[in-house]
Amino acid sequence: MTPVYRRSLLATSLLVAVSTLPAAAQTAPATPAATPEAAAQAEALEPATPTQTATDQNPQGATEAPAGEIVVTGSRIASPSATAASPLQSVGIAQIQQAGAINVQDVLLQNPAFGTPGVSRTNSSFATQGAGVATVNLRNLGEDRTLVLVNGRRFVSGLPGSSAVDLNVIPTQFLERVDVLTGGASAVYGSDAVAGVVNMIYKTKFDGIQLDGQVGMSQYGDGFDRQVNALVGKNFADGRGNIMLFGGYSKQGTVLKRDRYTEAGSSAVDSTSRGAYVTDNDADLFTPERPYLSGFAPQGRYYAGDSTFTYGQDGALRNCESANGTAGCVNADGTVAGPDGFNRSDFRYLAVPVERYVAAGRANFEVSPALNLFVEGNYAKTKVSTVIEAFPLDSTFSNPRNSGQIPIETIVGGVLYRNPFVPDAIYNSAIDTPIGNTGQGDGLKDIYFDRRLADFGPRTSRVSRDLFRIAGGANGKFLDDRFNYEVYGVYGQTKEDQVGTGQFNTANFFQALNSYRDPATGQIVCADPAARAAGCVPANIYGAGALAPAAGYLAVPTTLSTKVTQTVAGGNVSGKLFSLFGADPIGFSVGTEYRRESSRNDFDLLTQQGLNGNNALPSTAGRFHLWEGFGEVVAPIIQDKPFFQSLSVRGAIRVSDYSTVGTTYSYNFGGEWAPVEDIRFRVMQARSVRAPNINELFQAPQQNFPSVNDPCIGVTAATVGTLGTTCRAASGVLANIAANGGAFAANQADIQGVTSFEAGNRNLQEEKGDSFTAGMVINPRSVRALRNLVVTVDYFNIRIKDAIVQTPLQYIVNQCYQQGNSDYCSQITRRAAALGPNSAGSLDQLTTSFLNSGGVKTQGIDTVITYRQDLADIGLAGTLGLRGSYTHLISGYTVPLPDADRDYFAGEIGASRDRFTTNLSYDIDGVGFTTTGTWMSQASLDDQLTGARPGTNPLYRVRPQFYLDSQIRFQTNDGFEFYVGGSNLLNNKPPYLADIGASAGQDTDAGTYDPLGRRYYAGVRINF
């Protein structure tokens, strides 16, 4: 049996045994990165390789330029000694492999330059769209200000209306490295690069076959992950051509909230329903005597006259005497009569399952030095499922005219009939409630009610996303190789189809509640003849499970269809001009680009109108196009002189003409100075531009249910100052004060019953970002023991003018009641009177929209240390690799509106002032070990929620967090590698945040902190 056949058989057996395992990458050394410091960063953790079987990567990285010249991410100019003037960090393929990550997002988020992603697998279980998408967010400035490229070219968005790229569709095993350029780069790459650029660099000269597989799970026995991948590449025509094909499958398993813990204890009980704050950590919060379950229980609550009724666990109706807002009823001795509420945590996903089918390919063929043809393609299908608890229904859904009152009597043929489902006790307590402010009723008894629609099952969604992208073009050299050119075209589209359950038809439900017993037949029927003809089934809402017979008539599916398209065509010419003072020739690049973007998302008609349990989400559609021209120059001034090893200056400009905002300008200028070979200083000033995206321009008013703190809570009739005066001026507040012992109060339904509407604005203009970076690179090549050491230290300062923001809802509320700003008060609606479970004067509705308002600023210092050393040079065995990344955030704030107070985010959750990640690797004789530590300093709750500036009040702080990951791997000389590893090995539990700062439906910020706990994985990697 030949060695090749034995390896083929071994590979097949392992992959079948694992059944679902993925490709991680090759074992041969990675391609040298674009700059000396980037090369060291990308290679610092590369394992020692027993054989070099499958690589000959292209050093120029971002383009298909002929070998021998370097194109730096952040520039389009190729030269033999290009350097980065802006801070550039590279993540090599080895670092991606050694993280055991299925998705490259997980690796990038370890870099302290990235903030909390807007969408990830652990913070999107409640998303109405986009669940399971994986995005990145540089400098905490948002996904739409972080430009994601593939080989220096744009990639179609994974979210409708946005420019955010879904990293689920990027085949990790296809990557050579990822370059992260922080600071404005719009002059080189166009709009959206305000915070920086994430450039995914594909392999280009892979020759061989690579099979990879991996499985993993948590220590709790859930979150089962698996992946299997195959990469095939072939060089041909004496190395002038190459073709690579990739196919992969992965699935990341479900994790339920109830199976995890925070620092406060188990998340199995729905603690957020109690309305307690993060500082309330009493030991009895989770006891059966104080269950703090949701008041929306399957058995329902019924408000009739001055009495409130519910059903006990024994199914018996209980009279609570008065509306008290509790989940059950309070006995005479003050104890809760059984945990009669609903535990939402029994149903909630903490991590949604994501299943991916990914295919990719690329090819190039050099016809001649003047003509190199290239093409690359991507296809990905992503499937995601979400589950949350059954819908919490209250009677305000059904009859706005009657302010949510449900009649329990009806008149048919001039005869008054009683709804036969209504128990006697509720019927006898009910009254004819006045309609609105008329003071008059309609002659029919009515009630309010709320209940959990457990009869319909939990709310679920099944999402299928399909991405297709193709890019191609030609490049080459001409005029004695002094000039390069490239022409290219890109087309991409993302489609999403989503189907959901657990919702209801509002019109059908209202008709089904209006029923009577037909004296002719003795049957209970719907009162409206037209509704009966349409199949109306009478609805019994009294008691758990009572609605089940009508569920087929009431329940409706929800649907969503989206499509995003992107078309790009462009070309550029670069080359060398003349030399100044004997230095290298001046390099230049000029080019043009055309881009067209379109997006639409269409919910079902009931959802669009808010006529089911979903938010009212009208369709959004829009498009724009633009033409751009750009130019760039790098001019070496002095070279190889005392104290001037090199000195160069550079600049770039881009002019863009948008169909939406007109003409915009972006530019940058800066330089580099190396007094000696071992140290280099760099500085860059840039103006970046971001035009509004489709959602920001065209989004129809979207309904939401935000968490907002009401400043009026605690206000009395005697409270003086702006707060007291403004609160008492709002309708219903005085009645609330009188009803609650002299101080305004809000119950659970009030806190969770706020509605908001958020819309686009077609009058938006572009936002402008000014970034300044200055730093130095130390690479002591003249010292043999340190020649592989690279230290970079960079200061960054980014200020965004005319920032496109939605005015934060908490800011609107605070400005109205604490500052007395009447413009903001007009965006707030309070309930004029008590409405079912909601109190008089409680917050009802808020409105906001996108505006060019205020600004954003952030500044800090990045430090990166990379080192790789063959220890044989100092008489020891093995190879040592070290990489450390540290970011200190000096300041960061937003200004919601011009001349408004600053809203500080530096030091808040998701933007800790200090973060670092350290990777240490050691390889010897085919065995390698890597450990990674990630640390985040203490952080504070959002000052807009607490009123305390970050770091000033210890009651609103969470502790520093540290995560430890590790991997050990075993390699053989015939290209086989086996590895095992673990993530969050210390099983660090996230801070408990309840409803203040937590991700929707969770007990913590599941996008910032690891909520999954200790996890293990094992895999194989085989190269032929």
pLDDT digits (tens, 9 = 90+) for 253-303: 999 999 999 998 899 887 765 433 333 333 333 333 444 577 788 999 899
Give the side-chain half-sphere CA count within 13 A for 47: 31
- Residue 562's pLDDT is 97
C-alpha to C-alpha distance for 100 and 250, rounded to whole angstroms? 13
Nearest to 710 by CA among 808, 806, 817: 817
For range 646-658, the mean pLDDT: 95
For range 154-162, the mean pLDDT: 95
- Residue 55's pLDDT is 29
C-alpha to C-alpha distance for 723 and 699, rounded to whole angstroms? 34
Which of 579 and 994 is assigned the larger pLDDT? Answer: 579
Buried b (16+ CB within 10 A) or exposed e, 298-336: bbbbbbbeebbbbbeeeeebbebeebebbbbbeeeeeeb
Which of 750 and 176 is assigned the larger pLDDT? Answer: 176
- Residue 279's pLDDT is 31
C-alpha to C-alpha distance for 278 and 991, rounded to whole angstroms? 9
Instruction: Tell which phi-psi region holds residue 338, choosing left (phi > 0), alpha (psi between -120 and 50) or beta.
Output: left
- Residue 272's pLDDT is 61
Instruction: Tell which phi-psi region holds residue 724, choosing left (phi > 0), alpha (psi between -120 and 50) or beta.
Output: alpha
- Tokens 């938010």 found at: 615
Concatenate the DSSP letters of all residues of 979-1022 into one string: EEEEESTT-PPPPP-TTSSPPTTSSS-TTTS--S--EEEEEEEE
- Residue 330's pLDDT is 56
C-alpha to C-alpha distance for 341 and 299, rounded to whole angstroms? 9
Is 603 exposed, middle or buried (CB count within 10 Å of its CB: 0-12, 13-18, 19+)?
A: buried
Which of 64 and 254 is assigned the larger pLDDT? Answer: 254
- Residue 208's pLDDT is 94
Identity of residue 96:
I
For range 681-697, the mean pLDDT: 95
The residues pairing with 620 across neighbouring beta strands, listed in sequence order, are: 601
70-71 and 78-79: which strand pairing? antiparallel
C-alpha to C-alpha distance for 827 and 874, rounded to whole angstroms? 70
Identity of residue 243:
I
855-870 and 879-895: which strand pairing? antiparallel
Which of 822 and 260 is assigned the larger pLDDT? Answer: 260
- Residue 533's pLDDT is 94
**pLDDT tens readout for residues 334-361:** 555 544 678 888 999 999 999 999 999 9
User: Phi and psi at residue 894, in whole multiples of 5°?
Assistant: -120, 155
- Residue 33's pLDDT is 42
Which residues, 6+ apart, have CB-to-CB distance to 195 below 8 Å?
137, 138, 139, 141, 142, 145, 146, 182, 769, 798
For range 760-783, the mean pLDDT: 93
329 confidence band (pLDDT: 50, 70, 90): low
Lowest-confidence range among 223-237, 293-307, 361-375? Answer: 293-307
**Quick check: helix, strand or coil at residue 752?**
helix
Instruction: Tell which phi-psi region holds residue 640, choosing left (phi > 0), alpha (psi between -120 and 50) or beta.
Output: left
- Tokens 């210092």 found at: 861
For range 689-697, the mean pLDDT: 95
C-alpha to C-alpha distance for 110 and 112, rounded to whole angstroms? 6
For range 126-137, the mean pLDDT: 92
Instruction: Tell which phi-psi region holds residue 481, choosing left (phi > 0), alpha (psi between -120 and 50) or beta.
Output: left
Identity of residue 932:
T
- Tokens 């479900």 found at: 254
**pLDDT tens readout for residues 746-755:** 987 788 778 8
Neighbours of 524 (CB within 10 A): 15
Nearest to 97 by CA among 1020, 1023, 1024: 1020
For range 534-552, the mean pLDDT: 94
- Residue 789's pLDDT is 93
Which residues, 6+ apart, have CB-to-CB distance to 446 below 8 Å?
402, 405, 406, 407, 408, 430, 431, 432, 433
Max CA separation in the chain (angstroms): 109
| Percentage of the chain exceeding pLDDT 90 | 64
Cβ atoms of 573 and 529 within 8 Å: the answer is: no
- Residue 396's pLDDT is 78
C-alpha to C-alpha distance for 269 and 246, rounded to whole angstroms? 44
Mean pLDDT of all residues in the chain? 86
50 confidence band (pLDDT: 50, 70, 90): very low
- Residue 35's pLDDT is 54
Which residues, 6+ apart, have CB-to-CB distance to 458 below 8 Å?
347, 387, 388, 389, 390, 501, 502
**pLDDT tens readout for residues 195-229:** 999 999 999 899 999 999 999 999 999 999 999 99
246 confidence band (pLDDT: 50, 70, 90): very high
Does 385 have pLDDT greater than 90? Answer: yes
C-alpha to C-alpha distance for 191 and 714, rounded to whole angstroms? 47
636 confidence band (pLDDT: 50, 70, 90): very high
- Residue 713's pLDDT is 94
Nearest to 921 by CA among 863, 988, 969, 873: 969
C-alpha to C-alpha distance for 41 and 895, rounded to whole angstroms? 36
